[in-house]
Amino acid sequence: MPDFVMEVSHSHTCIVAELDDGTCRWVKAARQKLDCRYKDMPVEVSLCGSGGLGPLSKGQRLETVRYELEQALTRFVSLFKDDILSFHFLRKVKTFPGTQIHVLQPSRPNIFTLLQKELRNSKLRFEEARFEFIPHCTLYNGTFLEKFLDESEITQRRAEVQRF
């Protein structure tokens, strides 16, 4: 019987941190109101894929990726000892400068920065990052979605985002 090896084969494989149920419900409800085409996107913070660390490099064995993730998470959790580790988000919408990308940011962004640092210090290989790392969860990506809207809808949508 042949020996199969599973490896990273997609050119844009990311690592994300999923968020708590309360934040997920809030984000999904806001996305539903702002643009239902975006409502089913995952509610998460990308730890590698675009900001700070690019996507995982192709050709890495999945068992190695899993092992390195477990090791990085173990080191990360040990940094907090008695501190309560939580991914709480501010319920205030921020906009990335020069874009129509509206996001929620964590109340403690350093937690995500430290987690990404542990990934960077692992034996995992990453592609070049396109952006600096700013921990966030995207609420509304007008840069993409507004390509499909009429001008009057764009103005209305932007006003709705500002009310959150």
Note the pLDDT tens digit of each residue in 57-79.
Answer: 999 999 999 999 999 999 888 88
> For the segment 76-132, what is each residue's pLDDT rounded down to a tens digit?
888 876 665 667 787 788 888 888 888 888 888 888 899 999 999 999 999 999 889
Q: In Å, how far are 10, 31, 110, 135, 155 from 69, measured between CA atoms?
A: 18, 30, 19, 19, 43
Global pTM? 0.80
